[in-house]
Structure 1
Amino acid sequence: MSHIPHISYVHECTYTYLLFSHMIYLSSVPELDTHLHTYLFIRMSVELYEIK
C-alpha cells in the first residue's frame, strides 16, 4: 500500500506540469489553435483525475 501515495504524487506533478505547459503554450500560439489545445488539455486532466 505504500506505493499509492507516491503514485498520487506523480499524478499531481504531472498535472502541475501540464498546467504550466498549457499556460506557456497559450501565450505563444494563435487564437485559432487555442480552442483545440484547451479541449485536449481538459480531456487529459479528466483522464488524470479518473486515474486517481
Structure 2
Amino acid sequence: MLPGSAEVENVVCGEGGLLSGVNAEHLIVDMSTIDPLVSNRLAREVVSRAGGPDV
C-alpha cells in the first residue's frame, strides 16, 4: 500500500522501479486511488517505455 501519487510514480518510474524490468509481455494493474491524471500519465509512460497496447 502506497500513500500517494508521488510514491506510486517512484515505484513505477524511479530507479529500480517497475519500468526497469518490464516489457510488452508483462501486465501492470493500477488499482490505486491516486489522482487520475497521474495514473493516466503513468499508463502512457509504461506504454511508451515498455510497449504494449494503447491505454
TM bin (shorter chain): 0.3 to 0.5
The TM-score, its normalising length taken from structure 1, stands at 0.40
Structure of greater Rg: 1
Between structures 1 and 2, the one with greater helix share = 1
